[in-house]
Amino acid sequence: MTRTVTDVICPFCGTLCDDLEVVVSDDEKDLLEVYNACAIGAEKFLHSQAKDRITRPRMRQEDGSWKEISYDEAIEYTARMLTDAKKPLMYGWSSTNCEAQAVGSEIGEIVGAIMDNTATVCHGTSLIAVQDIGIPSCTLGEVKNRADRILFWGCNPAHAHPRHMSRYSIFPRGFFTGKGHTGRKVIVVDPRPTDTASLADVHLQVEQGRDYELLDALRVAFKGEKLPDFVAGIPKEKIYEAAETLKSGRFAIIFFGMGVTQSLGKNHNIDEAIAVTRDLNEYTKAAIMPMRGHYNVTGSGQVWGWLFGFPYAVDLSRGFARYNPGETTANDLLRRDEVDAVFVLGSDPGAHFPFSSVKKIYDRPSVAIDPHETPTTEVCKVHVPVAFVGVEVGGCAYRMDNVPIETRKVVEPPEGMMTDEEFLGRVLARVKEIKGV
Amino acid sequence: MAEYLIKNGFVFDPVLGIRGDQADIAIKDGKIVETNAITNPKVIDAAGKTVMAGGVDIHAHVAGPKVNVGRNFRPEDKLFGYKPRNGIERMQGGFSVPTTIRTGYNYARMGYTTVMEAAMPPLYARHTHEEMRDTPILDQGAYPVFGNNWFVLEYLKNHEIENTAAYIAWLLQATKGYAVKVVNPGGTEAWAWGLNCENVHDPVPYFDITPAQIVTGLIEANEYLGLPHSMHVHANNLGNPGNYTTTLDTFKLSEGIKPKSKFGRDQVMHHTHVQFHSYGGDSWANVDSRAREIMDYVNSHDNITIDMGQVTLDETTTMTADGPFEHHLTELNHLKWANADVELETGSGVVPYVYSPNIKVCAIQWAIGLELALLAKDSSRIFLTTDHPNAGPFIRYPRVMKWLMSEEAREQQFDAFKHKDKVIEATNLAGIGRELDLYEIAQMTRAGPAKSLGLAHMYGGLAPGLEADVAVYDFNPNEPYAPDDIEKAFSNAEHLFKTGVQVVRDHEIASNGNKRTLWVNAKVNENPQVMRDVKEKFLRYYTVTLNNYEVTGHYLPNPYVIEVDATQ
Amino acid sequence: MAIRVNLITGRTIQQGVSMEAGKEKPAYTAACGIIELDPADFKKLGAFRNTNVRVTSGYGNVVVKAVEATQGPHPGVAYIPMGPWANMVVNPNTYSTGMPTFKGTPVEVEVAKTEPVLGSLELVRKGCRGELA
């Protein structure tokens, strides 16, 4: 016999789809089938069942081999590492729930850690831009129900947020958008003719790294002022046309991604994209939204927001919270040798940081908390496997539009396996003992 | 639990009618008891000090999505005054939008024990509850917003009160909310198209309903349910010159409606931050105070309560579900602007603002707020707020008390204005000599808001049976004092008890308390139509499923449920 | 014969799926240990599709398999899916923004037919131990 769990939340990307159906065995130990998910989400659920999964903590030996250790030993190592360090980096916090993030924050407070999340290599520059200029935004349902102008800038949801277009942006029929995609005009700005661009009415193949100029040109075009013949490789006629398309809509939305946050210009690109949105509000209604990657990177920014007042790159090492991206951000700290221990949870910097930073993790006392075996676990001294959040344990997660949704537990984790929150709770207790607080 | 006896303080308590007489207050098992009901109490010597019930804040933006936008997009708000972790106190930062930890501690330092979050977008209810959970000490509740909700607009277009009431009951349960909040009725829905409703008869685009119909209908539905608090409104046209007529038009919508609630309140409408709604003139050049017209109405209609929304002349962060207003504001001051429209429900905006004493309009706003309180005939129907953080941060309440209690303090402030003469000309304040006493302050900050919230059976006074929320201030009202002594004493309670636990001892935080989250569970008759409508809207228009909408248990680790039976 | 191209990185759905299936597995290498080149650049390089190449920047080098652009044409622009291979060569400088410059790194691509594309764990391990060429 099997049982179907409905309304399951997908713990992969910031789209945070909440309509999955998962078939589990009667004893709730095996996950058999996944419906409604994209290919990546389905794989995430199914891989949790991999037979070769690591289920116990392990420590790297002198000779490079792994030795299995108990959770107690892993907790002791972690607590000692964090309390012995002068300035530990506690990084990740995006593929876990808000409950674990809150416990981790208290550990960081006590040991004087630098807390950074994956925004640092994703939408951190967007967060800086928001601090410069603000952000007129909305929930994804507003897009579904009202938007008739959709602009994807430097993002490729066909690959990175596969169900975004059908659930929210291009195809759905909403309250004021009964015609679905035929009532919408879609513009894609990308240096490649991506699979998303193939679904668009207009593709502007911007020269890589020249987004700022093109955004600025749009603002010029809104005002009907003169443009040179080409900007960022785009003929001016196409820019005027795109500007007119956006202005003539009833509700315009700009989604943007790594194409603008990681290219030169960085936060200034986002400043300009938000300024475009502000300008559009002089003519019609317009909103802008970052396409957040990890399913709960947004949540870690929220938790740190209410606990510390900053969304990422929070330096607690002086006993109070400081924030200075470029100084208190993970890659800058690693490259400048400013941290002396590294704790990673809910992220894989080993795969997703430039190698010069990865090498620095390898050179230091380090712990990786991750259900998977990853390049990060490969370079850390201790690897602690944990239950999959959203599969084997529930908890709160924030969607890319900041909407909080409670993820569900659908199957039991392997016998004896701890959750992020349980492990962190034990580390917190031990850290308090060691520090005498 | 420990017993306490607070001896010989000068007690100010409108519930018991004590106006500064010396009296003893006894605490046992979390409640106030008769002094002969305790056997072996710890004694607090309050001789020469002021004793009041714990403060009750009826309207502040302290938890939830827009508050956190304010924190995260204003690193500059934390430049000064970050406090390191110390003993049981966790680290605390932020001035106008403090972290949740600082929010709890700073209210406690002022002797406050109950704080209501003034606007909770239903779709973001979990976020609001997560922040309240992480706010120590305080009892809190949150008001979900209804004034631009599609269900409400559709039901009230046809004046379907019963269906509106059933929907309200369902949403309060789903979001674990406390009261019916209305912000710029219809105007925020219009803002989803970049428009607004500036007057109570402006039609809402598409929905074919007016703000007046929304407000009246929600009052009726609120009384149909008999909820503890009344409908709580922020009217249309906030912050615009000449808006006092819209405010009076909104007040008038309550006429002829009587409260139908067993929670002891007398009002059917609470109008919040009235300072922002009391402007005359037709431009920023000739804006003037209409506090007199507003208070003439309030004084002669006892089914209304209001709060001040006092401008404190600080740099602060404005935030409201009034989306079009924040856009208007960013066009005025050109500072950064965040906006978040919420599907089917509401919207919001956040913009920093500097209330400068060198700007005439800011000084006029300051005067108007004080006029409202000083022109009130009954101080138990107007409450001290700053609409935190909109008109100023809540930590300035003691400064507002100083201005209310001392004409000298007001004169000092007038003298500090760059455009003093113009401000005096545009306002009434300079001609008002009234100085409130501590009994009236206790009405405005304790007994009044507690009663308006329908919580007079728990908070706001020192009568036996009430929650043991008691503040002791190092302030002797019978000795001569300078105006600044008031601010100093009430910023820094000497002792504070919250539900019988001593959370402040000798001016220091002594405990993280026993925080509770209040919500209202209203039982109504089964209403298949409303449940069908709910299912339909979630299926077709929401981007979360119905089964993922309700806020469940663990977001409220210590809930306090107020049951209401409207099944008749 | 080496060519110069402008390297960008990012997500592909194959990268996402194989990552969730396990970064230690060959499928992850197949999805991410590649460089997508425009046909015009293949022509300049003078190499067949599916040839191993060495990609070198001012920050490092890595051996990946050259494949034809799946979302092209984009002459002059090359694409390595996000992951350890791309991160061997991207510009790690944040220029005081916290964000490494993952997109827009000038690289040189040369044929390296006989050199193997390492798996992700081996790549970072060897890199950390200084065992890479």
Q: What mean pLDDT is predicted for residues B396-421?
A: 98
A88/A82 Cα distance (integer angstroms): 6
Tell me the H-state helices in C8-54.
13-21, 26-32, 39-45
Task: Answer whether B100 touches A (CB < 8 Å).
Answer: yes
pLDDT at A280 over 80: yes
pLDDT at C25 over 90: yes
Cβ contact, residue pair A321, B91, below 8 Å: yes
Smallest Cβ distance to C92: which of A209, A264, A356? A356
Mutate which: C124, C125, C131, vs A, most A CBs within 10 A: C124
CA A269 to chain centre: 19
Smallest Cβ distance to A156: which of C10, C120, C128? C10
Cβ contact, residue pair A124, C97, below 8 Å: yes
Q: What mean pLDDT is predicted for residues A384-392?
A: 97
Angle at B336 between CA B331 and CA B342, to 5 degrees: 90
Chain A: give the shortest CA distance to residue B340, in Å: 4
Question: Residues 6 or more apart from A72 whose CB is under 8 A from it?
Answer: none
Interval B159-207: pLDDT, tens: 999 999 999 999 999 999 999 999 999 999 999 999 999 999 999 999 9
CA nearest A232: which of A203, A209, A253?
A209
Question: Residues 6 or more apart from B367 whose CB is under 8 A from it?
Answer: B289, B423, B426, B427, B428, B429
Q: What mean pLDDT is predicted for residues A50-62?
A: 93
**What tokens does B366 get?**
């300051």
Chain A: give the shortest CA distance to residue B178, in Å: 20
pLDDT at B568 over 80: no
Chain B CB contacts of A98 below 8 Å: 130
For A:63-102, CB contacts with B below 8 A are 98, 102
Smallest Cβ distance to A138: which of B84, B127, B340? B340
Domain assignment of residue B545, yes or no: no
- Half-sphere CA count of B339, side-chain side, radius 13 A: 29
Confidence grade of residue A1 (pLDDT, cut at 50, 70, 90): confident
Provide the pLDDT for residue C55.
98
**Orientation angle between helical segments B161-175 and B150-157, nearest 10 degrees:** 170
Q: What mean pLDDT is predicted for residues B4-31?
A: 98
Provide the pLDDT for residue B436.
98
Task: Answer whether B512 touches A (CB < 8 Å).
Answer: no
| DSSP codes of every residue in A22-78 | EEEETTS--EEEEES--HHHHHHHHHTT-TT---S-EEE-TTS-EEE--HHHHHHHH
B411/B512 Cα distance (integer angstroms): 39
What letters, b where the CB count within 10 A reaches 16 and e where it falls short, cover C51-79?
ebbbbbbebbbbbbbbbebebbebebbbb
A255/B385 Cα distance (integer angstroms): 39
Q: What mean pLDDT is predicted for residues B28-52?
A: 97
Interval B439-466: pLDDT, tens: 999 999 999 999 999 999 999 999 999 9
Task: Answer whether A159 touches C (CB < 8 Å).
Answer: yes
Smallest Cβ distance to C97: which of A208, A326, A373? A326
Tell me the H-state helices in A228-365.
236-247, 258-261, 267-280, 297-308, 330-335, 349-352, 355-362
B33/B40 Cα distance (integer angstroms): 13
CATH code of the domain covering residue B135: 3.20.20
Q: Distance from first CA to last CA of chain C, Å, rounded? A: 19
A262/C10 Cα distance (integer angstroms): 10
A296/B385 Cα distance (integer angstroms): 36
Domain assignment of residue B139, yes or no: yes
Chain C CB contacts of A359 below 8 Å: 127-128
Q: A28 versus A104: which is more confidently predicted?
A: A104
**What tokens does A426 get?**
């034990």
Task: Answer whether A431 touches B (CB < 8 Å).
Answer: no
Smallest Cβ distance to C99: which of A191, A262, A356? A262
Chain A CB contacts of B353 below 8 Å: none
Provide the pLDDT for residue B419.
98
Q: Are strands A382-384 and A58-60 parallel, antiparallel or unpaired?
A: antiparallel
> Average model confidence (pLDDT) for chain C?
97
A270/A134 Cα distance (integer angstroms): 11
Q: What mean pLDDT is predicted for residues A368-373?
A: 96
Whole-number percent of chain A with pLDDT over 70? 100
Question: Residues 6 or more apart from A293 whose CB is under 8 A from it?
Answer: A13, A14, A94, A118, A122, A123, A160, C11
**What tokens does A369 get?**
């908390």
Instruction: Considering the domain delimited by A58-121+295-435, tell me its CATH architecture.
Output: 3-Layer(aba) Sandwich (3.40)
Instruction: Assign 3-state DSSP to chain B and report helix, strand, coil percentages, each to 5.
Output: 35, 20, 40
Domain assignment of residue C108, yes or no: yes
Closest-CA residue of B relative to A406 is B548
Chain B: give the shortest CA distance to residue A337, in Å: 25
For B:200-229, CB contacts with A below 8 A are 206
Confidence grade of residue B129 (pLDDT, cut at 50, 70, 90): very high
Chain B CB contacts of A317 below 8 Å: none
Smallest Cβ distance to C72: which of A38, A192, A261? A192
For B:303-362, CB contacts with A below 8 A are 327, 330, 335-344, 347, 350-351
Note whether B90 and B82 are within 8 A (CB). no
Interval B224-276: pLDDT, tens: 999 999 999 999 999 999 999 999 999 999 999 999 999 999 999 999 999 99
Chain C CB contacts of A191 below 8 Å: 8, 74, 77
Cβ contact, residue pair A374, C95, below 8 Å: no
Domain assignment of residue C91, yes or no: yes
SS (H, E, C) B400-462: HHHHHHCHHHHHHHHHHCCCHHHHHHHCCHHHCCCCCCHHHHHHHHHHHHHHHCCCCCCCCCC
Confidence grade of residue C133 (pLDDT, cut at 50, 70, 90): confident
Range of the domain at C39: 2-128
Q: What mean pLDDT is predicted for residues A35-44?
A: 96
Specify which residues B562 forms β-bridges with. B520
Task: Answer whether A266 touches C (CB < 8 Å).
Answer: yes
Q: State phi, psi for A368 to the nearest 5 degrees.
A: -120, 125
Angle at A69 between CA A346 and CA C84, to 5 degrees: 40
Closest-CA residue of C relative to A258 is C10
Q: Report the phi/psi class of residue A221: left, alpha or beta, with left for phi > 0 and alpha for psi in -120 to 50.
A: alpha
Chain A CB contacts of C59 below 8 Å: 354-356
Using CB atoms, list chains with 3+ pairs below 8 Å to chain A: B, C
Q: Contacts by A48-52 with C-beta closer than 8 Å and gap 24+?
A: A48/A371, A48/A388, A48/A391, A48/A392, A48/A411, A49/A411, A50/C22
Domain assignment of residue B58, yes or no: yes
> Average model confidence (pLDDT) for chain A?
97
Domain assignment of residue B531, yes or no: no
> Average model confidence (pLDDT) for chain B?
97
SS (H, E, C) B460-493: CCCCCCCECCEEEECCCCCCCCCHHHHHHHHCCC
Specify which residues A251 forms β-bridges with. A285
CA nearest A177: which of A137, A136, A142, A138?
A142
Provide the pLDDT for residue B198.
96
Confidence grade of residue B1 (pLDDT, cut at 50, 70, 90): confident
Mutate which: A262, A294, A335, A373, vs C, most C CBs within 10 A: A262
Element at A430 (helix H, strand E): helix A420-435
**What tokens does A17 get?**
């789809």
Task: Answer whether A323 touches B (CB < 8 Å).
Answer: yes
Domain count, chain B: 1
Domain assignment of residue C63, yes or no: yes
- Output the CA–CA distances (angstroms, integers) from residue B27 to A313, A363, B40, B462, B466, in the order listed: 46, 59, 11, 10, 10
3-state secondary structure of B360: helix
Q: What mean pLDDT is predicted for residues C92-107?
A: 97
Q: What mean pLDDT is predicted for residues A356-374?
A: 97
DSSP code of residue C96: T
Q: What mean pLDDT is predicted for residues B54-83?
A: 97
Confidence grade of residue B400 (pLDDT, cut at 50, 70, 90): very high
Chain B CB contacts of A9 below 8 Å: 548
Task: Answer whether A192 touches C (CB < 8 Å).
Answer: yes
B388/B60 Cα distance (integer angstroms): 5
What letters, b where the CB count within 10 A reaches 16 and e where it falls short, cover B94-133?
bbbbbbbbbbbbbbbbbbbbbbbbbbbbbbbbbbbbbbbb
DSSP code of residue B497: E
Instruction: Considering the domain delimited by A124-290, tell me its CATH architecture.
Output: 3-Layer(aba) Sandwich (3.40)
Confidence grade of residue B478 (pLDDT, cut at 50, 70, 90): very high
pLDDT at A49 over 90: no
Confidence grade of residue A51 (pLDDT, cut at 50, 70, 90): confident
For A:25-54, CB contacts with C below 8 A are 38-40, 43-44, 47, 50
Question: Residues 6 or more apart from B245 whose CB is under 8 A from it?
Answer: none
B547/C86 Cα distance (integer angstroms): 41
CATH code of the domain covering residue C31: 2.40.40.20
Specify which residues B553 forms β-bridges with. none
Chain B CB contacts of A410 below 8 Å: none
Whole-number percent of chain B with pLDDT over 70? 100
Closest-CA residue of A relative to B66 is A402
Whether the bond between A57 and the residue before it is cis, its omega within 30 degrees of 0, is: no
Our answer on whether C and A touch (3+ beta-carbon pairs < 8 Å) is yes
Mutate which: A126, A139, A253, vs B, most B CBs within 10 A: A139
Complex ipTM more than 0.95, yes or no: yes
Cβ contact, residue pair A145, B344, below 8 Å: yes
Domain count, chain C: 1
